[in-house]
Chain A
Amino acid sequence: MRTFFLLLFALLLSEPAAAQSLDPRDLLNPLGSSWPTYNGDYSGRRFSQLSQITAANVGNLGLVWAFDSGNDPIKATPLVVEGVIYLSVPDKAWALDARTGRLIWHWENKSRGGTHIGHRGVAMYRKWLFLVTPDNYLVSLDAATGKERWRTEIADLKLDYFSTVAPVIIRNHVLVSPSIESTDNRGYLDSYDSETGKLQWRWNSTPDAGERGAETWPNDEARMHGGGGIWIPGTYDPELNLFYFGTANPQPVMAGQGRVGDNLWTDSIVALNPDSGKMVWFYQTTPHDTHDWDSAETPVLFDAELDGRKRKLLVQANRNGYFFVLDRSTGEHILTTPFAPNNWAKGLDAQGRPIRDPNKDPQPAGALVIPSEEGGTNWFPPSLDPETGFFYVRVTRSVAVYYLTDTSSKPEAWGGVDKTVQRGPSSIAAIDCKTGKVVWDHPTSEGAVSGLLTTAGRLVFGGDGSGNALALDPLTGRTIWHVNLNEKMFNGPITYELDHRQYLLLAAGGKLYAFALPER
C-alpha cells in the first residue's frame, strides 16, 4: 500500500506527458510544421517549407476559426508549437488550441506603466515562455499553464525606457533590449539566463571611453546619453555563432548639433557573439542620423553565389530607404541600392553608406524631406524566398517637413518635430537580393502596415490598407487571392501544419483568423 501511495505521489509530481516543449536545437531546422520563434526560424526569412496551399488552390481557403483578443491591434507574431498558439499584446498573453482557437490560458501583467505602443511577441525555450512588458520586465511563464515563473527588471521605467521586443533565445541566452522614448539614454542589449533570469552580459549601443568608436562622439556626456535602442528581434547564424540586430537612432533624435560625428553604434547593423556579448563587426547604415531612421529593421540571412563565390549574406531594407547587402561573416559591404524615394542623401560613400545632405537636416523654418519619419519601410517583418532569391518588403512613399525646435548647443530629447504632409502611397515590393533592383512593385491601398510571409507553395502573403489579406505571386506580384477582414493586418502572417493540414494564421486588428483548405 505504501508503495502504491509513493507511486501515486511520484505520478502527481511528474509533468503531464502532453505539456508542450521546445528544444532549442529544433530552431536550427528549416521552418516546417511549427512556428517556434518571432521570425519562424533564426534566419529571419519568414519562408515556410509548407506547400499544401498553392497558387492553384489558395482560392479554396476557408475560415476554420477566429479569436478575438480585444481592442489592442495584434502586432506580435504568434508562436505555434505542438498544436498550441502563443499570442501576446502589451501586458497580455494567451495560449490557444491551434485546431480550434479555443482558449487554454490567459495571462495579464499588472502594469506599473510604460509606453503601450507595440509588442512583438513571446519566445519559447523547453517548456517556458519569455516575454517583455511595457514596464520593462522580462517575464518567464510556464507554457502549459501560463503561470509566472520569474520576472527580471531589464530597464529603468523612470528614465523613460519601455520594452516591446520579442526575446530571441540562443541556447540558454535570452536576448532582450529596451526601447528608448524621448529621454536621452543609452541603448543596450542584455542576455539573461533562461533558467534563473540572471543577467549574463550587457552590450551597450555606444562605446565606452577609450573604446574604438568613442571618437565618433564629441564628448562623454553625448556618448553616454546617445541612444541606439534595439527594438526589433535579431537573427542568428549557428555556424558562425553570430547574433545580428539593428540599433535605432541616436539621441537627441532630430537635433544633431550636440553630437557632432558619426555617433557609433547607432543606426547600425551589429554582429556579436551570443556567449560573450562581444561585438565582432558592425556596419552603420546612417552616420549621424537626424531623421529617426533607425537601423532596427530585421537583418535577414541568406546564402547565394555572387561572382562565382558562395557567400553568406545579410540583407536589410532600411527605414532610410536603402537596401543593404553585407557579407555576414565579416560585415564587408557588398551592395546598397535605393528601394524607396528619398531626398535626404546626396549619394553613397566608399563603404556604401548614404551621405547625409546637411540641408535636409531639420531646420528652424523647416526642411522638406522624403520620406517622412515613417521611413521607406518600418518594423513590419519582411520576407525572403530562397527559391526566387527575392526579398519582399512593405514600401511607403511619404513626405514631411522637419523642424529644428531646439537650437541650443546642447539640445534635449527630440529637439525637433516632423510634420507629415504626405502619407502614401504604399506598396509591396520584391527586390532581387543579388542586384538590389526592385523586380516588381505591387501598389496597395494607403496605410498598409502588414508584415509578409513567403511559402514553398509559391505565395507571398500580406495585407493592404483597407483590411484585405492578400496572396501574391512571388515572381510577378500579381494578386491571386484576397479576403477582406475589415481591419488592417499589423503583424506578419504565419503558417503551420496540424493533422496534415496547412493553416494560414492572419491577424486583423485585435482578431486572429485561421484559414485552411477544406478537409478531404
Chain B
Amino acid sequence: MHWGNPSYSIVRGSPAKTNALCSTIAFLSALLAILVLCVARLTAQEKTEQNVSAPKPADSRPSDDVLRRIYPNMPPNQDPEAVALGKDLYIANCAFCHGKEATGGNTGPDLLRSVLVNHDEKGELIGPVIRQGRTNKGMPPFDLPDSQISDLVAFLHQRNRDARLRFTYKVTSVAVGDPFAGKAYFESHCASCHAGSHDLSGIASKYEGDALQQRWLDPGGQSADVTVTVTLSTGLKYTGKLENLDEFNVSLYDWQGNYHSFPRNSETKVEIQDPLDRHRKLLQELSDKDMHDVTTFLETLK
C-alpha cells in the first residue's frame, strides 16, 4: 500500500449525525441491505450488480419486504382466499376468451401484459370494464357483485405478480433420468469420497427436487469452508479456515478462532484445500444426461 500523501480528508455527503436514533436507522438499513444482498435471483439486466456473495438454499424465498425494496412497483401479495375465489370466477367467466392462464386466447387479449390491468390498483380500472364490457371489441358486460369483482381483481394481480417474480417459479420435476445409470455414475465418480461419514443415505429426505439437484452440484452454496495452510520461511505453519486470498495477502481463522493475515511473497507458501474441488471440476465435464441420472438416483436415497 502506498498512501503517500499523509494529509488527506474524508468529506461526507451529508452532515454526520451520531445520535442513537440515527445509529438505529443505520443498523436497520444495514440489515435491510444484507437481506437485499441475499436475494439470489435478480433482474434480467443486472443480477451481477447486487454482488450476491452468499446464495441461500434453493427453496428459500425472500420476504415480501425485501422484494418490495428491490421492486417497489411489484403488485403486493393479495388475500389468498380472494385469489382462490377469483380464480374460480375467472375460469367460469373469462378464461374462454382470455385463456386459462390469463395470457390471452383467440378472442381476448393477454391480461398480464395489459396496460389497463397493470395500471389498476384495486379494481378502479378493471371493475368498469367487467361491468360495462367492451362491446365494440366483442366483450359483453358482466353483471357481477362488488365482492366478486374484487375477487377477480385479486386473482389478476396475484397472477401478474407470480408471473413477474421468478423467485416464486416452481421447478416441476428433476427426476427424469435413469436411476441405474445414475448409480453407476455415482459409483465410478463419487463413491470414493462419499462413503462412511460422507455417505448420502437420506439426502432425498432432506432436499427435494431442484433443491436436491442444486445441493449435489454445489454442496457449499459457494461458501463452503476452504482450508488454508500458510508456511512461513521460519517453518512456522498456520492452518485454518480461509478468510480471504488475493494476489497480495492471505488471511485465515485458525482452529481456535484467531485471525491471522500474511503478505504473499516468495517466503510464504500458501496451500489451499478445497473440499469441493472435485465438485467444481465435475461441473466442467458433467453431461446433462449424467446430471439427470445422478439426481434421479439420489432421489431414491430417502
Contacts and interface: CB of A to CB of B under 8 A. Distances in A.
Nearest to B41: A417
B118 interface: yes
Contact of A221 (B29, B104, B173): B104
Contact of A71 (B29, B119, B171, B249): B29
A412 B163 contact: yes
A183 B286 CA distance: 34
A114 interface: yes
Do most interface residues of chain A lie in helix, strand or loop, or is the interface mixed?
A: loop
B3 to A, nearest CB: 5
Interface stretch (A141-149, A153-161, A332-340): A153-161
Contacts of A364: 171-173, 176
B176 to A, nearest CB: 4
B213 interface: yes
A490 B49 contact: yes
Contacts of A367: 288
Contacts of B29: 71
Interface stretch (B10-18, B187-195, B197-205): B10-18
Given A70-B13, A248-B45, A417-B166, A447 B214 contact: no
A403 B9 CA distance: 50
B133 interface: no
B73 A158 contact: yes
A368 interface: yes
A181 B44 contact: yes
Contacts of A109: none
A403 B210 contact: yes
A164 B13 contact: no
Interface stretch (A32-40, A166-174, A209-217, A371-379): A371-379
B1 interface: yes
A421 interface: yes
A488 B51 contact: yes
B164 A225 contact: no
Given A412-B103, A447-B51, A490-B49, A483 B73 contact: no
B291 A368 contact: yes
Contact of A414 (B12, B72, B169, B176): B169
A106 interface: yes
Interface in B246-302: 246-249, 280, 283-284, 286-288, 291-292, 295
Interface in B72-111: 72-73, 99, 101, 103-104, 110
Interface string B1-35: 11111101111111000000000000001100100
A480 to B, nearest CB: 11
Nearest to B165: A182
Interface stretch (A12-20, A57-65, A197-205): A57-65
Nearest to A89: B13
A468 interface: yes
A464 B13 contact: no
A332 B118 CA distance: 41
Given A180-B44, A366-B210, A115 B70 contact: yes
B2 A483 contact: yes
Contacts of B137: none
A398 B136 CA distance: 53
Given A68-B11, A410-B104, A422-B280, A379 B5 contact: no
A196 interface: no
A111 B51 CA distance: 24
A63 B164 contact: no
A335 B167 CA distance: 38
B118 A158 contact: yes
Q: How large is the interface on B (under 10, 10 to 19, 20 to 34, 35 or more residues)?
A: 35 or more
* Residue with the greatest number of chain B CB neighbours at <10 A, chosen from A71, A103, A106, A366: A366
Given A116-B70, A365-B176, A419-B210, A182 B4 contact: no
Contact of B46 (A61, A64, A118, A157): A118
Given A181-B164, A405-B169, A66 B11 contact: yes
B42 interface: yes
A484 interface: yes
A75 B41 CA distance: 19
A378 B46 CA distance: 8
Contacts of A114: 72-73
A117 B43 contact: yes
Interface in A85-140: 94, 96, 100-103, 106, 111, 113-118
B163 A449 contact: no
Do most interface residues of chain B lie in helix, strand or loop, or is the interface mixed?
A: loop
Interface residues of A, number: 100
Given A101-B11, A158-B118, A253-B44, A75 B70 contact: no
Contacts of B69: 116
* Residue with the greatest number of chain A CB neighbours at <10 A, chosen from B33, B104, B246: B246
B72 A113 contact: yes
B178 interface: no
B2 A117 contact: no
A408 B102 CA distance: 12
* Residue with the greatest number of chain A CB neighbours at <10 A, chosen from B53, B163, B173: B163
A377 to B, nearest CB: 10
Interface string A234-259: 00000000000000110001000000
A308 interface: no
B261 to A, nearest CB: 11
Given A117-B50, A408-B101, A413-B166, A482 B210 contact: no
A354 interface: no
A281 interface: no
Given A366-B213, A483-B3, A117 B44 contact: no
Contacts of B99: 410
B61 interface: no
A469 to B, nearest CB: 10
B173 to A, nearest CB: 6
A117 B115 contact: no
A363 B110 CA distance: 25
Contact of B119 (A158, A422, A447): A158
A66 B8 contact: yes
Contact of B244 (A100, A249, A466): A466
Given A181-B71, A410-B99, A421-B283, A59 B2 contact: yes
A229 interface: yes
Nearest to B115: A159
Contacts of A292: 44
Given A417-B41, A483-B3, A113 B73 contact: yes
20 contacts: A61-B2, A65-B9, A67-B10, A113-B73, A117-B43, A159-B115, A221-B110, A225-B113, A364-B173, A368-B217, A378-B46, A405-B170, A414-B44, A421-B214, A422-B283, A423-B222, A482-B248, A483-B1, A484-B1, A518-B4
Given A158-B118, A408-B103, A447-B53, 12 more contacts: A65-B11, A68-B12, A118-B45, A182-B166, A248-B44, A296-B45, A367-B288, A373-B47, A401-B217, A405-B170, A449-B48, A490-B49
- Nearest 4 A-B pairs (CB), nearest first? A62-B4, A62-B5, A113-B72, A421-B218
